[in-house]
Chain A
Amino acid sequence: MNFWFVENHSPNVKFSMRVIEHLYTGKSEFQKIDVLQTAEFGRVLTLDGYVMVTEKDEFIYHDMITHVPMATNPDIKKILVIGAGDGGTVRELTKYDRIEHIDMVEIDEMVVDVCKEFIPQTASKLDDPRVHLHFEDGLKFVRSHENEYDLIIVDSTDPFGPGEGLFTREFYGNCYKALKEDGILVNQHESPFYEEDALGMQRAHKRITGFFPVCKVYQVHIPTYPSGHWLFGFASKKFDPINDLNADAWNQLGLQTKYYNTDIHVGSFALPNYVKEQLEDVE
């Protein structure tokens, strides 16, 4: 059978994976949810037809969205994760014994249920006793919290659809308020490559820089995301991700990671000129 999943990466570019089996399809209140068994990437979660997670390359995303802030401030104990319904971000965080409390706020409970059933590779640690699941709008959740978290991770979908509110100035401002005085905000920051993604990336950067004294961007390579060139934002009230990195302390923890190490931590903040220019344009 010649069965291929296709996603438009730009209006003029398509990305395709051969599908062995369509394992699940369903529609929640918010979006269409599908799980595919693919030949190359293992199981793949898509929302409204956009790839969110694949078994083969999810480690890149989840390593880099968690270990960069965790290695920058070794005292992080209380964390808010927004989005992240596949569970991969929480899985990485639960590797740290010192973390006491994780609030995970996902708008769509069905995504979590589907991932628990079909993608245990990422959803395996959602039952950890330190993890508290809240199924509601992240923008609403964060509004009522003040001076509470050491770290907020925004593991969102794209700036259209249910994740829209997580790319707004009001959201970043509310995050600032919910963070402690040395808090860190890490967010999925879109891609600099295709025009539409780059506009979303610039808007996000512009809105965050208004609030945080430290605002950096770091990059990763994710084969199944448009262009493969993806960014995360690192914003903080106090910590600098490079100057404050305590590499020895993190390495002594002896955590097993497939992508992250303290060298790539530093290196990921080195950006190509065209990305620097896009960021400077909105600073």
Chain B
Amino acid sequence: MKILSQQKAPIMEALNKYKKMRVVPFDVPGHKRGRGNEELTAFLGENCMTVDVNSMKPLDNLIHPVSVIREAEDLAAEAFGAKHAFFMVNGTTSAVQAMVMTACKAGEKIIMPRNVHRSAINALILSGAVPVYVNPGVNKELGIPLGMAVADVEKAILENPDAKAILINNPTYYGICSNMQAITDLAHRHGMLVLVDEAHGTHFYFSDELPASAMSVGADMASVSMHKSGGSLTQSSLLLINNEVSEGYTRQIINLTQTTSGSYLLLSSLDISRKNLALNGQEIFRKVGQMAQYTRDEINKIGGYYAFSEELRNGDTIYDFDTTKLSVHTLEIGLAGVEVYDILRDEYDIQIEFGDIGNILAYISVGDRRLDLERLVSALAEIKRRYSQDKSGLFDHEYINPQVVYTPQKAFYALKETLPINDSAGRIASEFVMAYPPGIPILAPGERITPEILQYIQYCKDKGSFMTGTEDSKIEHINVLKEAEK
């Protein structure tokens, strides 16, 4: 493979060149470099509007890249150690869906942990693939789902030798990694593809000190949220492929659902961010790791909170830990994570990534300043002083084993009826229920509703979690399969 210069940013360079040509636009977009929409231009800035342009010969075309987008994708592939990298403009959600649909056709099996993001199960609704769930390990003390045990994956593989692929989170939202190398090797021995959701793992590709990335262990496909730790614009993402996965077929799958008007704001942000990561990533993530560690130590000094890290490693379900993640267990001060999340925002003007039942997650990045970290730590100290209470009565676990009755696609499109959610125990859900973030379904289509699940949903609502997934936006009713369908 020829060594490319990571100093280059072909899409940005082509846009700069195009601007200098002062081309008269008789094409879309109709705002014509912003002149046709003064208020929007004033709000977003002229620089931004002048590069919001259409696909054209000098700027290539996302649905079939042959010049500058192709070059930028090649550079990204090199930087991430992949055979090819696709630029995605419809979020990592679309990358995850493209992975699943590339690997599995309707009726084919895919092995995955149940604590996947909703986008993975949505992919099953779209494709008709059949999930085989591996229960993730659970840390009882922290109430968080972990990675998959290698033995559990092996059992699933042996019981489902016809499965086409296995999907792995690397890492989970909380920063927990499965044994990627062992699971990848195992899957490959049984002729299965390894698909990896790396929505929270972009930085693994640019640090020697962090857990292994999907491409580095020889996985076949990975969805990488460049817009999270990679610094690109929201909604931009990468789909990486490796080994024998066909570039042409994957592109066809992507083009089933991806826009034909790919945004050059998003594309150039991927290009420029890849350049920055390739040139400065090691240094950037070393700093981020140091900031996270400093903050973790300071939070642990407060007492009561537990900012956990790699000491949790157990060689299997917590094979590795992403030390740039700042996850904090809050139940010991008598507050649910989501309560701390709300107090931080309402009282202290501090917005963190999410709070669930037992934990909060603060996202640390190269954009953080030391003084902001001090604010977070001090606010947590204050919350403990002002709000801590007896911890009895707090729910202590998060993961409920699902009873899967139908595939997500069958359940979603089946004849259904709407019931008040509290009268739905025993029935089969036709839709999702989840707290968002983190977006890991409590119930997915095709799963049996149990009293335990209803109690848990009620508890999440009471604690102020933002619930979503059902057709009824208030989550007071739920669509279930008609009895006749059972």
Interface residues of A (CB under 8 A from B): 137, 139-140, 143-144, 162, 164-165, 168-171, 173-174, 177
Contacts and interface: CB of A to CB of B under 8 A. Distances in A.
Interface stretch (B127-135, B214-222, B375-383, B454-462): B375-383
Nearest to A173: B382
B381 A170 contact: yes
B287 interface: no
A201 B298 CA distance: 30
B371 A170 contact: no
A170 B385 contact: no
B374 interface: yes
B374 A169 contact: no
A199 to B, nearest CB: 13
Nearest to A161: B371
A165 B347 contact: no
Contacts of B385: 173, 177
Contacts of B349: 168-169
Nearest to B369: A164
Given A168-B348, A169-B348, A173-B386, A143 B378 contact: yes
A155 B385 CA distance: 25
Contacts of B382: 169-170, 173-174
Contacts of A165: 371, 374-375, 378
Contacts of A177: 385
Contact of A170 (B298, B370, B378): B378
A164 B371 contact: yes
A124 B263 CA distance: 61
Contacts of B381: 143, 170, 174
Interface residues of B, number: 17
B374 A137 contact: yes
- Interface residues of B, dominant DSSP: helix
A242 B13 CA distance: 67
B386 A139 contact: no
B371 A174 contact: no
Interface in B180-195: none
Contacts, number: 47
Contacts of A174: 378, 381-382
Given A168-B375, A168-B378, A173-B378, 4 more contacts: A137-B374, A140-B374, A168-B379, A169-B379
Nearest to A168: B375
Interface of B: 298, 301-302, 347-349, 370-371, 374-375, 377-379, 381-382, 385-386
Contacts of B378: 139-140, 143, 165, 168, 170-171, 173-174
Contacts of A137: 370-371, 374
A218 B381 CA distance: 30
Nearest to B375: A165
A173 B385 CA distance: 9
A143 B377 contact: yes
A177 B385 CA distance: 9
Nearest to A210: B347
Contacts of A170: 348, 375, 378-379, 381-382
Which 9 residue pairs are nearest across A and B when measured between Cβ atoms?
Answer: A170-B378, A170-B379, A173-B382, A139-B374, A170-B382, A165-B371, A137-B374, A140-B374, A139-B378
Nearest to A169: B348
Tell which of A137, A169, A170 has the most Cβ of chain B within 10 Å: A170
A26 to B, nearest CB: 20
Contacts of B348: 168-170
A139 B379 CA distance: 10
Contacts of B374: 137, 139-140, 165
Contacts of B298: 140
A174 B383 CA distance: 10
A137 B371 CA distance: 8
15 contacts: A137-B371, A139-B371, A139-B374, A140-B378, A143-B378, A164-B371, A165-B374, A168-B379, A169-B349, A169-B379, A169-B382, A170-B375, A170-B379, A170-B382, A173-B378
B374 to A, nearest CB: 5
A204 B386 CA distance: 19
Nearest to A141: B374
B485 to A, nearest CB: 54
Tell which of A164, A168, A171 has the most Cβ of chain B within 10 Å: A168
A182 B375 CA distance: 26
Nearest to A174: B378
Contacts of B370: 137
A168 B377 CA distance: 12
B328 to A, nearest CB: 16
Contacts of A139: 371, 374-375, 378
B386 A162 contact: no
Contacts of B377: 140, 143
A113 B371 CA distance: 22
Contacts of A169: 347-349, 379, 382
A165 B374 CA distance: 8
Nearest to A140: B374
A173 B347 CA distance: 11
A177 B348 CA distance: 17
B371 A162 contact: yes
A282 to B, nearest CB: 14
A168 B378 CA distance: 10
B361 to A, nearest CB: 19
Tell which of B298, B374, B381 has the most Cβ of chain A within 10 Å: B374
A155 to B, nearest CB: 17
A17 B238 CA distance: 55
A177 B370 CA distance: 23
B444 to A, nearest CB: 39
A181 to B, nearest CB: 15
Contacts of B302: 143
B338 to A, nearest CB: 20
Nearest to B350: A170
